[in-house]
Structure 1
Amino acid sequence: MKTPYLEIDLSKIHDNAKHLITMFGVRGIGVMGVTKSVLGEPKIADCLIAAGISSLGDSRIENIIRMRKANVQALLFLIRTPSVSEVQDVVAYADVSFNTELSVIADLSRVAVQQKKIHDIVLMVEMGDLREGILRQDLGKTIGKVLRMKGVRIIGLGTNLACLSGVKPTKSNMDDFSRLAETYERSYGLKLHVISGGNSANFDWMLEDDTKGRVNNVRLGEAIVLGRETLLRKHIGGLHLDAITLVAEVIESKRKPSLPEGETGLDAFGNTPVFEDKGEMLRAIVALGKQDVHVAGLVPLIDVDILGSSSDHLVVDASRAPLRVGDRVRFGLDYAALLSSMTSPFVGRSYIKDQSQRWPRLRGIPERVPAVM
Structure 2
Amino acid sequence: MTYTTPYLELYPERIKANAKSIIDLCHRHGIQVAAVTKVTAAHDVVAHALEDAGADMIADSRITNLRSLGESGIALPRLLLRLPAPSEAQMVVRNSEISLNSGLHTLKLLSEAALAEKIRHGVIIMVDVGDLREGIWPDQAVDLVKAAARLEGLEVLGMGCNLACYGGVIPSEANMQKLIDTRNQCRKATGLPLDILSGGNSANLPLLACGQMPAEINHLRIGEAIILGRNVLDRSPWPGTRQDTFRLFAEIIEVGRKPSVPIGERGQDAFGGTTDFEDRGIRKRAICTIGRQDVVVDGIEPEDKGITVLGGSSDHLILDVEDAATDVKVGDELSFFPGYGALLAMSTSPYVAKVVVRDK
Please give the TM-score of this superposition, normalised by the length of structure 1. Answer: 0.91
**1:223-302 residue pairs with structure 2 within 5 A?**
223-302=225-304
Number of the residue aligned with 2:347? 342
1:64 is paired with a residue of what secondary structure? Answer: helix
State which of 315, 320, 337 in structure 2 corresponds to 1:317.
Answer: 320
Aligned partner letter, 1:21: I
Paired amino acid for 1:323: V
1:144-155 residue pairs with structure 2 within 5 A?
A: 144-155=146-157
Does the CA-based 8 Å contact 1:175-1:213 persist in structure 2? no
* Distance in structure 2 (CA, Å) of the matches to 1:188 and 1:342: 43
CA positional deviation for 1:330: 1.3
RMSD (CA atoms): 1.5
Deviation at 1:210, TM superposition (A): 5.6
Count of matched residue positions in the alignment of Structure 1 and Structure 2:
355
Residue 305 of structure 1: aligned partner: 308
Q: TM-score, normalised by structure 2?
A: 0.95
Map 1:104-183; keep pairs closer than 5 Å: 104-183=106-185
Separation in 1 of the partners of 2:278 and 2:119?
Answer: 64
Q: What secondary structure is seen at the aligned counterpart in 2 of 1:2?
A: coil
Q: How does 1:192-207 map to 2 (within 5 A)?
A: 192-207=194-209
Instruction: Output the CA distance in 2 between the equivalents of 1:279 and 1:333.
Output: 29
Pair 1:327 & 2:329 matched: no
1:269 is displaced (CA, Å) by: 2.1
**Structure 1 contact 178–213 (Cα < 8 Å) conserved:** no
Q: Gapped runs of 5+ residues in structure 1?
A: 356-373
Identity among equivalent pairs (%): 39
Separation in 2 of the partners of 1:324 and 1:10? Answer: 31
The alignment partner of 2:329 has SS state of coil
CA distance in 2, matches of 1:315, 1:273: 14
Other-structure match for 1:85: 87
CA distance, structure 1, for counterparts of residue 294 and residue 280 of structure 2: 29
Q: How does 1:38-53 map to 2 (within 5 A)?
A: 38-53=40-55
| Structure 1 counterpart of 2:314, one-letter code | S
How much does 1:163 deviate? 0.8
Partner Cα separation in structure 1 for residue 266 and residue 139 of structure 2: 56
